[in-house]
Structure 1
């Protein structure tokens, strides 16, 4: 038996059975309960520098209280008996099957799995919530594919192969790229690119997530089936992705046939998200829905599912009178939700249980027997204009929807004299005029929300944040800090872009170089630590998210079905 050493504790680890071997390395079971060891064939200093960042900065596992590992994150480096770094320890994921075994009808019948549309919605919902957690910590998954996601019988997924993630050092601009990708999941703008030389962003993962969710809900890839209407031969899948041709694209070159499933069987919120990702997001990748957007859309979808009156394994939208799956199976003489012999449907029990409750911002567990309160990863959504309520959230992590009023670049905060900041302000209450005569509108005893970025600490934010213009709608996530002592002093040559409330505009004048915040006003702030905390929305999206949040808050709901 081989013996290696844990670099964190200097304790011996015995390698027992080799369970996987690839060009990158070997994976072994160990004598440490619930832990696997990955040993690299060709260790490099860069690889271990990346792993050190991951070990030090772990995402919060949303399923920790359910005793489920949502991701097999590195826990410690491993040394050989000469003290050389050779690999790392990670949690062992047990009791799961690959994602393709869940969404592929033939494979789930072979494995005798009970899977219906309700179960598939839940798997997609939980993948979205886990990816939100990962993105919030600043990681990009990169190699998103079905083989890297295992799912258990509770519809709880686990991400493996996490050492391939793209990692950004949280205190510098150092990027450790994701070097691998999978055909069919690479967004069009990255096809043919050398992953060794590019930095990936959250919107690249957003494309991959949309493909996975489509496969879960429809059982096939969105850029595959369909009747080709073009003059030339039907392009390969990668070429279809590169051109933006899918079955619901505006080009109408790929159309439905008897084997394809129409998008309109989904809840309208999900239809919109798919179109936004694959149509709008084709030329403007930053418009692709985030993992959190998918969570909210899938929550609405799950809340509008019902069991078919004829076949228990058929679950369809409650917005439709007829069961689509019955109509399809009668037409094609093939039922993709036919259960394996000996397997009985539990859909009525599950959907009855989930219909008695609703969804809040907790990670979602499919079955009612696990009633443990899980870690909150989706926090309450607040309207940026509701400053009084935001102030009450001091110290809490929340999501805020608002419209940009000011973009104050290169400002210097008095308590951080050497730090370059940008401030996005939601609403202006006080300002100076050109003669620096103080104009005070003491409307309330608090200031509007400030979103603050330290460009010395995070220099790569500069270009992105500077492009955020006045009147854009933003979704911002972070911890609220209420500051009672920030003062902005008059300063020349600081570009300040202001739009003040309509009832003050007639007396606005031209004010371009100075702004002040009085000491006694309470100022709610969010300090950005990664770009995944901020997202540009359309007006309709902003209103939709706020409306969804209001409905959930009014229902006083919880996420356990």
Structure 2
């Protein structure tokens, strides 16, 4: 590898080593200072003022989860390979744009999504350790990241399993972010996405030449999200992978999407899902409703497709009540089922067999591939699930005045490898919990605003804070004694 020095927007030198990967637009480099970032440098023939303006708009308008202090994409937190600074060929003055800095996504931890939703790949890598619970969690994390992207007015555009990476903890990362549709809030303009993957595009965009047409991709993102969630939960099968008279003459997935025939409707005998597909009844009714709106109503009415925030909320609700099989520790299934659906499979065909793949020694640090690189083909073991720990479940506050608000920090810990997420609520009107919805890698402090002015006349008050999460549920008891009225 050779070294090269470039400069960020403030003129600070950034020492690069590489290139470690070459693509159609440019080359990827590792950074020596700081080590948790990498750089994409464009080929000179790709340089345009429009490209520079787009990257600058991305730096100014980052999704809410992209924060400077958490740039590194570890095995818990989900990540975006999002530009955080433009790079130049000289420190100040007359200088030329050459590329951008972005978070380093360690692809010894993250692999392309198809390796997880395809049962053969998943079992080869993990045994049965990456369970349906983990797949549901990966779907939740994807919906969460897309929610953050949409909240800033951006769209992914090229939604596909190629741009989506998954870690053994079910964290997700999205790469090739410079191909996104970007909203430039400062100049009130949109930079449209010029790429797309046919299997994840809705019928109205099949065959569109994105290089020539400016097409808003919001509704397309929602269709692609539905496809990815479906594939995570249904063993990699595409929702429009079907046979029958209803799709006669349609030989590709793209052609079947144009036909608009969702194969999992009992009322439509003209199409049938593949024989190797899971029984659709494993999908909870709440998620079946979202799939119906996305793939049936949403075929001709794009506005009917559920937004990412709704996918996130519904999946979280199902995760909080997921069931665990007593016969096989790797079998997890929806709360709506009375028996484990995976136990019905022969041992050789079980998508989540009892055994778990043991780890191999990690690759040396200098073999880590930057975001967008080809993942190392190495097995990974099951990550321990999130585990909610409440260090101080009893809160006692003595001798406080009335008509004041007392802030109190309730600390939650996560003892597992997976990200903890959940909700918290108070049983009384005089306590407000912020945030009500939370995510946590290791530790988070919820703020309890205790408003003594809303209490009744008793001098001693008691309340509960109920916490529901994918790592278990807990309760904190709050005791407050008030000063007697003078």
Q: Shared topology, TM-score over 0.5?
A: yes
Paired with 1:37 and 1:379, the residues of 2 have a C-alpha distance of 39
Paired with 1:247 and 1:304, the residues of 2 have a C-alpha distance of 28
1:316 and 2:316 aligned: no
1:43 and 2:47 aligned: yes
Q: CA deviation at 1:240?
A: 0.6
1:458 equivalent in structure 2: none
| 1:154–1:367 CA contact under 8 A, matched in 2 | no
2:147 equivalent in structure 1: 132
Map Cα deviations across residues 234-265 of structure 1 (whole Å, 9 max, x no partner): 43110111121221256543213531223221
CA distance 1:101–1:87, change in 2 (3 Å): same
Taking structure 2 as the reference length, what is the TM-score of the superposition?
0.70
Alignment of 1:218-229 (within 5 A): 218-229=234-245
1:192 equivalent in structure 2: 207
| 1:305–1:315 CA contact under 8 A, matched in 2 | yes
2:132 equivalent in structure 1: 117
| 1:122–1:302 CA contact under 8 A, matched in 2 | yes
| 2:126–2:382 CA contact under 8 A, matched in 1 | no
1:274 equivalent in structure 2: 291
SS at match of 1:146: coil
Paired with 2:339 and 2:297, the residues of 1 have a C-alpha distance of 31
2:99 equivalent in structure 1: 87
1:303 and 2:310 aligned: no
Paired with 2:279 and 2:416, the residues of 1 have a C-alpha distance of 35
Paired with 1:305 and 1:260, the residues of 2 have a C-alpha distance of 21
1:262 and 2:305 aligned: no
1:544 equivalent in structure 2: none
RMSD: 3.7
2:5 equivalent in structure 1: 4
1:179 and 2:90 aligned: no
| 1:256–1:262 CA contact under 8 A, matched in 2 | no
1:415 equivalent in structure 2: none
Gaps of 5+ in 2: 360-379, 391-411, 438-463, 473-486
| 2:420–2:470 CA contact under 8 A, matched in 1 | no
Paired with 1:242 and 1:372, the residues of 2 have a C-alpha distance of 38
CA distance 1:193–1:173, change in 2 (3 Å): farther
SS at match of 1:253: coil
Map Cα deviations across residues 194-250 of structure 1 (whole Å, 9 max, x no partner): 223223242211101001101111122434544323484443110111121221256
276-285 or 13-22: bigger deviation: 13-22
| 1:155–1:366 CA contact under 8 A, matched in 2 | no
Paired with 1:348 and 1:79, the residues of 2 have a C-alpha distance of 40
2:65 alignment partner, one of 43, 51, 61: 61
Paired with 2:292 and 2:264, the residues of 1 have a C-alpha distance of 7
Q: CA deviation at 1:132?
A: 0.6
**Structure possessing the higher relative contact order (Cα contacts under 8 Å, 6 or more residues apart):** 2
Q: CA deviation at 1:304?
A: 3.0
1:325 alignment partner, one of 342, 351, 361: 342
CA distance 1:335–1:24, change in 2 (3 Å): same
Paired with 2:203 and 2:167, the residues of 1 have a C-alpha distance of 31
1:246 equivalent in structure 2: 262
2:80 equivalent in structure 1: 71
Paired with 1:179 and 1:120, the residues of 2 have a C-alpha distance of 30
CA distance 1:292–1:308, change in 2 (3 Å): same
CA distance 1:226–1:239, change in 2 (3 Å): closer
Map Cα deviations across residues 517-555 of structure 1 (whole Å, 9 max, x no partner): xxxxxxxxxxxxxxxxxxxxxxxxxxxxxxxxxxxx995
| 2:383–2:417 CA contact under 8 A, matched in 1 | no
Map Cα deviations across residues 325-378 of structure 1 (whole Å, 9 max, x no partner): 122437xx5122226664599999748x5799xxxxxxxx9974369998x9x9
1:104 equivalent in structure 2: 118
Aligned length: 384
Paired with 1:292 and 1:255, the residues of 2 have a C-alpha distance of 30
Paired with 1:48 and 1:306, the residues of 2 have a C-alpha distance of 50
SS at match of 1:111: helix
Q: CA deviation at 1:60?
A: 1.6
Map Cα deviations across residues 28-74 of structure 1 (whole Å, 9 max, x no partner): 11212111111112111101101111101111217976963521210
338-347 or 282-291: bigger deviation: 338-347
Paired with 2:202 and 2:262, the residues of 1 have a C-alpha distance of 13
| 2:319–2:470 CA contact under 8 A, matched in 1 | no
Paired with 1:141 and 1:69, the residues of 2 have a C-alpha distance of 15
Paired with 1:288 and 1:192, the residues of 2 have a C-alpha distance of 21
Gaps of 5+ in 1: 357-364, 381-387, 400-552
Map Cα deviations across residues 119-147 of structure 1 (whole Å, 9 max, x no partner): 10111111111111111011101111122
Q: CA deviation at 1:309?
A: 2.6
CA distance 1:257–1:166, change in 2 (3 Å): closer
| 1:266–1:301 CA contact under 8 A, matched in 2 | no
Q: CA deviation at 1:107?
A: 1.6
SS at match of 1:300: helix
